[in-house]
Amino acid sequence: MPVGPLDKIFKLTILVNSMHNRQIVYLFIIFAILFLGSLATLAYGVTLHEKDYIITNFGIKNGNPLITVQGTAGGSYDPSLGDEGYQAYVFDTDKGTFEITVAEGSSNKPHYSTDQILAKVIKLNECLIKNRETHGKPLFENNTVSYVDPNLNVTKVNKVYTAQVISDDPDEKCETGQHIRKIYSNQTNATSSQVN
């Protein structure tokens, strides 16, 4: 059967449409890869700077314990932990042990909170037993972080720590499911200084 001009036009149209559809599919795949790559960059745009957790000094100001670090206090956290962990500044004082947590928040900004730690000793891999009923607030000023509670009036800081805490499922051994994975830094001072 002879192929007429209409058949040639029809076959050419199918070929052009097939090539056009492939180009659209390729463009869609490229767009999806670029879009997902940009989301990953946004999600992990924050990185942990360990110098934000290396203690250089600690003390008391206006009855509130404070820690000074090499980097920017509260300036970074480990985004790979997601909601399964956080970084912490821990103050062992004459009024109890308190922590300020730095974790992943919304829009790549850190989320800060405070807790009272009931555990007697802070050790690697140990369970953190906590009381979430604290009135303290975190205060970050450049390389200094303070646990501010006007009703606490701390007169002595025994020891300070910076640590990474991971959250796991609670069990009989650890009712909070939170364990210290890493201690970045700690300092002890027999008589901590009053900072003016």
pLDDT for residue 133? 74
Mean pLDDT, residues 121-128: 89
Confidence band for 193, pLDDT divided at 50, 70 and 90: very low
Same domain, 22 and 73: no
Q: Is residue 11 part of a domain?
A: yes
How long a stretch of residues is the chain?
196
pLDDT digits 0-9 by tens, 150-186: 999 999 999 999 999 999 888 888 888 999 999 999 9
Judge if 179 and 82 occupy the same domain: yes
Share of the chain above pLDDT 70, in %: 73
Distances (CA, A) of 83 to 37, 42, 52, 94: 21, 16, 20, 31
Residues 77 and 134 both lie in one domain: yes
Give the model's confidence band at 43: pLDDT under 50 very low, under 70 low, under 90 confident, else very high.
very low
Decide: pTM greater than 0.85: no
- Indicate if 26 and 109 belong to the same structural domain: no
Can you tell me the mean pLDDT for 135-142?
A: 95
Indicate if 30 and 82 belong to the same structural domain. Answer: no
Residue 107 pLDDT grade (very low, low, confident, very high; cuts 50, 70, 90): confident
pLDDT in tens, 5-34: 666 666 656 655 665 666 655 555 665 565
Position 183 scores a pLDDT of 94
Q: Which domain holds residue 22?
A: 1-43
Q: Where are the beta strands (DSSP E) in 118-153?
A: 130-131, 137-141, 144-148
97 & 16 share domain? no
Domain identity same for 127 and 168:
yes
Q: What pLDDT was estimated at residue 102?
A: 95
Q: Is residue 196 part of a domain?
A: no
Identify whether the C-beta of residue 67 lies closer than 8 Å to the C-beta of residue 89. Answer: yes
User: Which tokens is 80 given?
Assistant: 């790979």
> Taking the alpha carbons of 99, 102, 105, 107 in that order, is the dihedral positive or negative?
positive
Total domains present in the chain: 2
Give a yes or no: residue 142 inside a domain: yes
Residues 79 and 31 in one domain: no
Are 99 and 55 found together in one domain? yes
Residue 1 sits in the same domain as residue 19: yes
Kindly state whether residue 82 falls inside one of the protein's structural domains. yes
Query: Minimal CA–CA distance to 140: which of 105, 111, 106, 108?
Result: 111
**196 is written with which tokens?**
């003016």
In a domain, 195, yes or no: no
